[in-house]
Chains A and B, each alone.
Chain A
Amino acid sequence: MPITKYYPFEPEQAPLEYRGVPEINPHLCVGCGACVNVCPPDALIKIDDYENGTRKIVLDIGRCIRCARCEEVCPTRAIRLTREFEAASNDRICHVEIVELKLAKCRECGKYVDYTERQLQKVLSLIPPGILEFDRIREKLPLCRECKRLLTVVNATKFEEEMRE
């Protein structure tokens, strides 16, 4: 009974349950950073560039421990663990996957805010239409933190004045 296989000449496939190298589907990723928050070894990091208005989600499979926490928390199922287990490479950069997304722009001051355009679309698609209309959420998004604070103050003052009248 031969036990030794002619690997790698005879390719070997991991079973369906196997947790292998993760992969981000850039079409689905909204750049929310949930995976970055849960990742135990910092294999996933988030880099925001407010000058150029981009957010990079960087996945380094060299640091990854294949725990699949990212897969569990991903709201759009963009990050998935594949059955791939051969990660050897001559070039370190082959281990890195970068997804670059556009940051949304503040409608008041024009600065970039700390979430992406896709995140915004995702949130708007999740909120029921009734609430969307009632709270006039579309008018409030996207706003940067400062403008949001300002708007709250302005609204509160307006409300107070209306009450006084």
Chain B
Amino acid sequence: MIREFEEKFGPTLEKKVIAKNKVLYTLMVRREDFINMTKYILNRPNTRLFTMVGMDERNTEESFSVTYWFLDWKAQEVIGIRLYVPEEEPSFPSVGAIHKGAIWFEREVQDLLGLEAEGLPDPRRLILPDDWPEGVYPLREDFQYYHSPMGTRNYPYREPKNNSTVHPMGPYHVALDEPAHFRLFVKGEEIVDVDYRGFYSHRGIEKLARGRLNYNQVIFIAERVCGICGFAHSIAYAQAVEEAAKIEIPDRARYIRTILLEIERLHSHLLWIGVAAHLTGFDTGFMRSWLIREKVMELAERLTGNRKTYGLALVGGVRRDLLDYRKSLILETINKLRGEVNELVDMLLATKSFIKRCEGIGVLSKEKAREWDTAGPLARASGIDYDTRRDLPYAAYDELSFNVPVYKEGDVLARALVRIDEVKESISLLEQAVDAIPGGPVMAEFNEIPSWREGISAVEAPRGENTHYVMTGEINRIYRWRVKAPTYNNLQAVSDMLRGYTIGDAPLIVASIDPCYSCTERVQVVDIESGKAKVISFGGMGTCP
């Protein structure tokens, strides 16, 4: 992709190589070309909008910037296109107008930095609370992280059209204990349209990382972005910093990271299978699944000191070595697990009520899945053959063999089957990794982190890819840290999945993407009811189901 792109647009661009196969272009002149470039990239097969980063670079470049990162997963190449947005005229052409997957990114930039995307289809507020005053942009450099202004409460909800009625689902989600507000527009039982207002658990951690933490402290808040795929977030962050600072991590650390990422995938998928069984009224499946999951959690506790694999990663490696007795612990557990998982799957797939509730429900076609840039099991259930572990290898995945399950049906059952297959692949990956783990140190040695370097990395979390972008700042700080969780894309596709189905199916369809609101919304709690705003920097974060 990079070669063709350069042949077509090369002369007007300034090029900067971030890493092997990762290039950043800065648009110098002719902003009109920008939309053509994005169109050109997105019209190619196997490309997706990876992430989008808005930055306040007024201190160094005297303007704001937005960077669109694209991935070609067959060529394993990442392209970034940076557009500088002057302070006097803070607007840029919208990609959301031609590519749906960019809408939330641009709404977010509009909220947090005050940069307007011209031609954006839905320019309502996305991230900031309903009572946040107009014209205050928290990610700008002149905004202090502890500041918390008050405004009046106002949000332009969409009103139902064509004789439909509103059926609210939320602000507390029925299936998962997290805040999310779906407004289902219904005609009788049938859902005709959906409006989503979420981001109730936006906590502003990106600002916190800029304002208060040094680069080695950020990793502990990175893993607390999510209560389930925390380790994937911490590894994605660590890899981005390692890429920026050109740190090579030891082989042993790469394998330990792989092992823990797979343990995380195991417990996350088993959790989801349980939740899906519960939502279809099959509570035996739920109990059995969580019983198996408990063993994985206990294994994680023995390996890392925490049931949730927290606190193991640091920039440059891992903190605890995988001692021999821990290796045998893993093997013991997965030997037991294999039989139990097979038993569970047989039981689940032989349950007619489960199959009937899942089959043909919440269908997402391949075209739609592509439009929204969906990721992970949701994309793979809709026939998109994309997995970051294989297509943008990190940790030790390029040295291990595994299959990427892909289904074409695109319904809830296909999503369940993808996850079931992935559980089996994870068990095999764990076995391979424990077998092949090399010796040596677990932590790389490095000096100070250089300033103004950039890194972008993705980790395949259980729900899809976690993309982290990092620009290093001065005195061991991070200048900009951008987290994109898979649910950020997947949640947008839910509106397409709900349309045409009944209210009774809605919880199952929403749950079928395995949404993680706290990942998507990233950390600042504002209590809208009492009108009181408080920034909670650490405790009290929302977690996954």
Contact = CB atoms under 8 A, between A and B. Distances in A.
Interface of A: 3, 14-15, 17-19, 38, 40-42, 62-63, 65-69, 72, 81
B153 interface: no
Nearest to B294: A3
A15 B224 CA distance: 23
Given A3-B291, A18-B301, A69-B220, 13 more contacts: A14-B301, A17-B301, A17-B302, A19-B311, A38-B216, A38-B217, A41-B537, A63-B538, A65-B224, A65-B310, A65-B538, A66-B305, A67-B310
Nearest to B212: A42
Interface of B: 213, 216-217, 220-221, 224, 291, 298, 301-306, 310-311, 319, 537-539
Contacts of B302: 15, 17
Contacts of B220: 40-41, 65, 67, 69
A108 to B, nearest CB: 33
29 contacts: A14-B301, A15-B298, A15-B301, A15-B302, A17-B302, A17-B304, A17-B305, A18-B305, A18-B306, A19-B305, A19-B306, A38-B216, A38-B217, A40-B217, A40-B221, A41-B537, A41-B538, A41-B539, A42-B537, A63-B538, A65-B220, A65-B310, A65-B311, A65-B538, A66-B306, A67-B311, A68-B311, A68-B319, A72-B319
Contacts of A67: 220, 310-311
A81 B216 CA distance: 20
A133 B335 CA distance: 63
A68 B224 CA distance: 15
Given A3-B291, A41-B537, A66 B311 contact: yes
Which of B220, B298, B310 is most buried by chain A, counting CB atoms within 10 A of its CB? Answer: B220
Nearest to A39: B217
Nearest to A72: B319
A55 B291 CA distance: 49
Nearest to A14: B301
A3 B289 CA distance: 13
Nearest to A16: B302
Contacts of A38: 216-217
Which of B213, B217, B304 is most buried by chain A, counting CB atoms within 10 A of its CB? Answer: B217
A15 B213 CA distance: 31
Contacts of A15: 298, 301-302
A17 B220 CA distance: 19
Contacts of A18: 301, 305-306
Contacts of A66: 305-306, 310-311
B343 to A, nearest CB: 14
Contacts of A68: 305, 311, 319
A72 B305 CA distance: 14
B446 to A, nearest CB: 17
A54 B319 CA distance: 34
Contacts of B310: 65-67
Contacts of B306: 18-19, 66
Contacts of B213: 40
B77 to A, nearest CB: 35
Contacts of B221: 40
Nearest to B304: A17
B221 to A, nearest CB: 7
Which of A3, A40, A41, A42 is most buried by chain B, counting CB atoms within 10 A of its CB? Answer: A40
Contacts of A17: 301-305
A6 to B, nearest CB: 17
Contacts of B298: 15
B339 to A, nearest CB: 15
B134 to A, nearest CB: 32
Contacts of B216: 38
A69 B538 CA distance: 16
Contact of A62 (B303, B304, B311, B539): B539
Contacts of B291: 3
B539 A63 contact: yes
A65 B538 CA distance: 9
Contacts of A72: 319
A67 B302 CA distance: 15
A41 B306 CA distance: 17
Contacts of A41: 220, 537-539
A81 B306 CA distance: 12
A141 B304 CA distance: 43
Which of B298, B305, B319 is most buried by chain A, counting CB atoms within 10 A of its CB? Answer: B305
B369 to A, nearest CB: 36
Nearest to B312: A67
Nearest to B303: A17
A90 B285 CA distance: 38
B327 to A, nearest CB: 14
A3 B295 CA distance: 12
A42 B214 CA distance: 12
Nearest to A19: B305
A63 B537 CA distance: 10
Contacts of A63: 538-539
A22 to B, nearest CB: 12
A30 to B, nearest CB: 23
B260 to A, nearest CB: 14
A41 to B, nearest CB: 4
A3 B298 CA distance: 14
Nearest to A18: B305
A40 B237 CA distance: 16
A67 B220 CA distance: 8
A15 B298 CA distance: 9
A145 to B, nearest CB: 22
Contacts of A3: 291
A36 to B, nearest CB: 12
A7 B220 CA distance: 30
Which of B298, B304, B538 is most buried by chain A, counting CB atoms within 10 A of its CB? Answer: B538
Nearest to A41: B538
A162 B317 CA distance: 54
A66 B538 CA distance: 12
A66 B312 CA distance: 11
B525 to A, nearest CB: 15
Contacts of B303: 17
A3 B294 CA distance: 11
A67 B537 CA distance: 16
